[in-house]
Amino acid sequence: MALYNKIDKRLLKEQLQQETVKRVTLSFYQYAHITDPESFRNQLFREWQQWKVFGRVYVAKEGVNAQISVPEPHFEAFKANLYSINFLKGVRLNIAIEDDGKSFYKLKIKVREKIVADGLNDATFDVTNSGKHIDAEEFNELATDENTVIVDMRNHYESEVGHFENAICPDVDTFRESLDIVADMLEGQENKNIVMYCTGGIRCEKASAYYKHKGFKNVFQLNGGIIEYARQVKELGLENRFRGKNFVFDDRLGERISGEIISQCHQCGQPSDEHINCANDACHLLFIQCADCATKYESCCSFDCQEFIHLPEEEQKERRKGIDKGRQVYRKGRLRPKLGE
């Protein structure tokens, strides 16, 4: 059995669109001591492939971080198998709020140095001494306390489309970058309630321990992140203090938590919170585009990219050779003018 995918992604995406079985999109993480990440990675791939699990998974000596989709008929078998792994028994599964079943089209499991790139030397502080986990009701109570500071531990393009009321949203590209920037922003507030949140909780797990090490006394983290908060708000009939959309790192690129649209199209400035990757694979810029601009630019970020996608396929391939830009994200007002022309 091959332990990685060999099929062209375009074919895989076509197969996913034709798939009729309902899928469940979910995420989970767990910090744990894994002595042989490569063997554990192969074990997961063999077991999950039989149930046609798709998604993106990172395995490291410090644990596992997974965003996946599971065919609904196989969900209970998958869950039982997952919980049979000692350090994953009973791990919280964050089920997607909005799910069309098309979040992932293949299974990709990678061995990494860390399950979230944070740039920290974990030997310098106690990573297990994390902040107090709070649920949605406790979060709402703390949010009304004038002695509370709410901190968004996500990247700028995530908070741009959605965030909690009155939250500090650092203008950063990566989690690694945010850690010291947030610490500087909070200087002098060491005795306040520092309430942190992220998408599913994993970034706050490490960040809260780091900030306690830095001298902050009352550190809290939203248990299960925005995903679990939204579920509890709906289930318990609580006030929803989140505004806009929750950015997610899969093909959906977002799930709506409230009705507000708090961001604008990066091309025309009209209200929009629809993230898209430029249709030009040599560009692939992540940006916000409204429906009108999607039609005008054919899902591209500029007229140049629009012209590129109409070149013969072979010429496009030739021009793309050697191009590896990594993750390119639009930085409104910082890196470039308004997209388009």
CB 224 within 8 A of CB 92: yes
Question: Using CA atoms, how far apart are residues 213 and 59, in angstroms rounded to an integer?
Answer: 26
Helices 136-143, 225-236: inter-axial angle, 10-degree rounding: 100
Q: Within 13 Å, how many C-alpha atoms sit on residue 152's CB side?
A: 27
Structure tokens at 304: 């140049």
CB 55 within 8 A of CB 107: yes
Continuous H helices in 62-130: 75-83
- CA-nearest of 272, 290, 148, 279 to 220 is 148
Three-state secondary structure string covering 168-225? ECCCCCCHHHHHHHHHHHCCCCCCCEEEEECCCCHHHHHHHHHHHHCCCCEEEEECCH
Cβ neighbors of 22 (< 8 A, separation 6 or more) are: 71, 72, 101
Enumerate the active-site residues: 198
Q: What is the DSSP string of 136-163?
A: HHHHHHHHT-TTEEEEE-S-HHHHTTEE
Which of helix, strand or coil describes residue 271? strand
